[in-house]
């Protein structure tokens, strides 16, 4: 026969095991819920990327899709970077709600890294948030979003071909 202490120890052991099991179930449930939330919230972006790649393959002979960008100003533009059939780096700018697709050879303008470097040299931001190509006043531009030295949100629109600053918005 077991003594009271042994019985009590067995109950504590079972209780500890159940607590650990319940804790693991809660952790797994949280991970699953967060994963589902991430997938659902990222779905519109994934769908836009798939559609943009499809259009770029059709109109620009895109064979190697790369970075995907979303630009929101007066209108929304989706851009996919990649390589065409001749293995040239290109950008394909697609308006969200119809219009002409623009195919740009990357060699005819600035890269994301170049415009980010330009903003860093000119403004010394705390942090560069993103660079995205789009269309402003019927010209292809890079929109660079950053936090200035005071931590305020700023935007620079930089002409894709010339590197000239088209518009600056500070301290939002």
Q: Is residue 3 a part of any domain in this protein?
A: no
Q: Is residue 148 a part of any domain in this protein?
A: yes
Q: How many domains does the chain have?
A: 1
Q: What is the CATH number of the domain that holds 128?
A: 3.10.450.40
Token representation of residue 104: 């740009």
- The per-residue pLDDT for range 137-165, each reduced to its tens digit, is 999 999 999 999 999 999 999 999 999 99
- The per-residue pLDDT for range 1-25, each reduced to its tens digit, is 556 666 566 666 667 778 888 888 8
What's the maximum distance between 2 C-alpha atoms anywhere in the chain? 90
Q: Is residue 60 a part of any domain in this protein?
A: no
Reported pTM: 0.74
Residue numbers of the domain that contains 161: 112-169
Provide the pairing of β-strand 165-169 with 127-136: unpaired
The dihedral over CA atoms of 60, 63, 64, 70, expressed in degrees to the nearest 10, equals 30
Q: Is residue 128 a part of any domain in this protein?
A: yes
């Amino acid at each position: 026969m077991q003594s009271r202490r042994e019985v009590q120890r067995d109950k504590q052991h079972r209780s500890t095991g159940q607590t650990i099991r319940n804790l693991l179930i809660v952790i797994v449930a949280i991970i699953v819920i967060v994963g589902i939330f991430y997938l659902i919230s990222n779905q519109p972006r994934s769908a836009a990327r798939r559609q943009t790649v499809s259009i770029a393959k059709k109109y620009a002979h895109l064979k190697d899709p790369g970075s995907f960008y979303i630009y929101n100003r007066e209108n929304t533009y989706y851009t996919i970077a990649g390589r065409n059939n001749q293995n040239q780096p290109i950008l394909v700018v697609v308006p969200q709600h119809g219009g002409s697709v623009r195919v740009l050879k990357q060699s005819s303008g600035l890269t994301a890294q170049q415009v980010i470097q330009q903003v860093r040299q000119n403004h010394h931001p705390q942090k560069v948030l993103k660079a995205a190509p789009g269309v402003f006043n019927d010209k292809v531009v890079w929109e660079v979003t950053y936090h200035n030295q005071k931590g305020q949100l700023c935007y620079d629109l930089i002409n894709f071909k010339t590197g000239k600053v088209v518009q600056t918005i500070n301290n939002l």
